[in-house]
Structure 1
């Protein structure tokens, strides 16, 4: 028997493995005809608490499942494109037909059209032969088109990194009551559903270790990733300004032009910003980490003295952006300028073509 929430096989032996439920609880709920949820899903659904578990040999299992399906629905998050378009997933999926679903488009500014998002995504994936479908699970946008495409196949697998909205889309498409919670990584085993003559499988969310949230506990991930909108702040910094993003990312700004650069930073509303001078930045970071410089998680979870940092320099101009996987992105409105970015070692950082174009005039739907 499988847990109705996460798809893991029910077991009574090891609390640290997927599907655990105490045997006496299982027997009591079975006799009463109640829904059988593992201990982890029950606590997530009813108490808002998520327990960590061990997933054993995940990649081998995924590769074996891929061999048995006709198409893979690979789900990305438009607000964290770099964090969700993972090269290892692309490599694993190289031999199978793919539908690329780009979710959460409702979180972007309304000035950005669907056509612009679609064109931008296709340029980012280097003209790979994907069917690209834009969706919003919360607004139910694009679901009809996705369902019609899925029904062209007999066996379909949903994959994606944690927190891209994969299980939410699966639930909306199939009507199956899976565990959809604010916590990333809720699905632990394959969840199966049938839609007319098509069989669909939802797989566990993949952890890449290239995003900020991959370093955090489930509780902190929930705070950083669950949002109804993105925060957007505009900066017009002086020379030698420093901007902190949540205490875990530092941007040193420098420029030679007479005109000060202008840029916006898009991030989850839990991420706090603070601007200061380069002279004060080092002392401020050490003394105010977790205080004035509030990271988007419990500071005791990642003490600053325990962190290893990477440092990279970028030259940025208008129509360019700097994306920080799992944290947010900087969009240049006026340049050029240089920035030295310092953040936790391992987090993927990429300079890219602008998704939010500075030349675009505001439009409202």
Structure 2
């Protein structure tokens, strides 16, 4: 136990927003809470660290001193438990949501795979198709889930069904909720708590990666625990390259409205300045359907001019990234595909473009962010 941790009645006090041990000494360390705020929080039974307070009330994010290794150490303890693992992924960023070597963290415990953010997918997308695709992606990553559920933690869609499935599969065991940062784990747990107790927004949530800093234990009716674990930092996520308001322009906030662009060969679409799509070659003009955040600026230009256009306009016309962030933004890398059937070119964390058969296309994304091709979902 660290000497600066606040102890009441022999128990270390934890922030109920992020799980960090509360301390009143060092403003730059996790868990810092001013004495006055601590006193007030103890009186009303809701102690929040200053970071969570600012995040909840002002949407400000403060840097923290917890490293990737600290996150991993917290998660490796799960393998020795006898529990149900609820593994949350972002339907819109499945590759970026996958935890490399998940089996090392969960051991022999059963895994219930949960696809979150269903609310942003177009209604024309069939749920069973999405479930099958999610299971295939999990299997390819070496994960064999006992079941797959689709939810929207934000809108509470199918939370009741998920609760029933958790109860069915946990068989009286503790439940650990795991996932990479920014997939909506804490939003999901808040929904579960709200459905069960009526308490709103117990756990700090935001669009910023890495909001939960330590495990948060929530008692279940039978004395077992629902545990929110810190999200594993996944550097390949698009969200890690964006700041503040930029995230809102890239992460879908509402149901996506598909946009169709009629492109000739050797034409390019820019998605702000964060990604790019090229129609390299094909026998004629084709319609390409874009599925991305409705407010993201999309600009069409000629392929021959694309590199120069990007260099001239990234950070102003092509935004995000902002002018301030463009020097920190990774260069875009090209991924070329030749299609043999109707397919989706997926730029992880941003969306996808549905393309026809027998064309050559390229998807560009920040270095490290995945671009992949799959059979068309719609």
Same fold (TM > 0.5): yes
How many residue pairs match? The answer is 351
What is the CA–CA distance in structure 2 between the aligned matches of 1:239 and 1:182, rounded to whole Å?
37
Aligned to 2:66: 55
Question: How much has 1:123 moved relative to structure 2?
Answer: 2.7
User: Is the Cα contact below 8 Å between 1:156 and 1:199 reproduced in 2?
Assistant: yes
Question: How much has 1:72 moved relative to structure 2?
Answer: 0.9
> What SS class does the counterpart of residue 72 from structure 2 fall into?
helix
Q: Cα deviations across residues 14-45 of structure 1 (Å, max 9, x unaligned)?
A: 33332111234424554x54632100111111
What is the CA–CA distance in structure 1 between the aligned matches of 2:290 and 2:323, rounded to whole Å?
22
What is the CA–CA distance in structure 1 between the aligned matches of 2:103 and 2:91, rounded to whole Å?
17
Q: Cα deviations across residues 37-76 of structure 1 (Å, max 9, x unaligned)?
A: 1001111111121212122311011111342241110001
2:113 aligned residue (76, 91, 100): 100
User: Is the Cα contact below 8 Å between 2:315 and 2:326 reproduced in 1?
Assistant: no
Aligned to 2:164: 148
Query: TM (normalized to structure 1)?
Result: 0.87
User: Is the Cα contact below 8 Å between 1:82 and 1:323 reproduced in 2?
Assistant: no
> What SS class does the counterpart of residue 125 from structure 1 fall into?
helix
Q: Cα deviations across residues 230-264 of structure 1 (Å, max 9, x unaligned)?
A: 3532122111111111212222212232x323221
Alignment of 1:302-317 (within 5 A): 302-303=326-327, 307-317=330-340
What is the CA–CA distance in structure 2 between the aligned matches of 1:270 and 1:55, rounded to whole Å?
34
User: Is the Cα contact below 8 Å between 1:69 and 1:156 reproduced in 2?
Assistant: no
Aligned to 2:342: 319
What is the CA–CA distance in structure 1 between the aligned matches of 2:164 and 2:120, rounded to whole Å?
24
Instruction: Note the residue ranges of structure 1 that are not aligned, 5 or more in a row.
Output: 357-365
What is the CA–CA distance in structure 2 between the aligned matches of 1:21 and 1:182, rounded to whole Å?
22
> What SS class does the counterpart of residue 25 from structure 2 fall into?
coil
Q: Structure 1 pair 153/235, CA: closer, same or farther in 2 (3 Å)? A: farther
Q: Structure 1 pair 255/132, CA: closer, same or farther in 2 (3 Å)? A: same
Aligned to 1:355: 377
1:19 aligned residue (11, 31, 34): 31
Question: How much has 1:193 moved relative to structure 2?
Answer: 0.9
Q: Structure 1 pair 188/279, CA: closer, same or farther in 2 (3 Å)? A: same
User: Is the Cα contact below 8 Å between 2:33 and 2:50 reproduced in 1?
Assistant: yes
> What SS class does the counterpart of residue 289 from structure 2 fall into?
strand
What is the CA–CA distance in structure 2 between the aligned matches of 1:9 and 1:222, rounded to whole Å?
30
Aligned to 1:168: 187
Q: CA RMSD in A?
A: 2.4
Q: Structure 1 pair 307/140, CA: closer, same or farther in 2 (3 Å)? A: closer
User: Is the Cα contact below 8 Å between 1:174 and 1:194 reproduced in 2?
Assistant: no
2:272 aligned residue (232, 243, 246): 246
Aligned to 2:298: 273
> What SS class does the counterpart of residue 87 from structure 1 fall into?
coil
Question: How much has 1:101 moved relative to structure 2?
Answer: 0.6
Q: Cα deviations across residues 197-239 of structure 1 (Å, max 9, x unaligned)?
A: 1310001222201121112335543553361233532122111
What is the CA–CA distance in structure 2 between the aligned matches of 1:210 and 1:86, rounded to whole Å?
11
> What SS class does the counterpart of residue 181 from structure 1 fall into?
coil
Question: How much has 1:3 moved relative to structure 2?
Answer: 0.6
User: Is the Cα contact below 8 Å between 2:274 and 2:366 reproduced in 1?
Assistant: yes
Alignment of 1:206-355 (within 5 A): 206-217=232-243, 220-225=246-251, 227-257=253-283, 259-295=284-320, 297-303=321-327, 307-332=330-355, 334-355=356-377
Instruction: Note the residue ranges of structure 2 that are not aligned, 5 or more in a row.
Output: 1-12
Aligned to 2:132: 119
What is the CA–CA distance in structure 2 between the aligned matches of 1:26 and 1:345, rounded to whole Å?
43
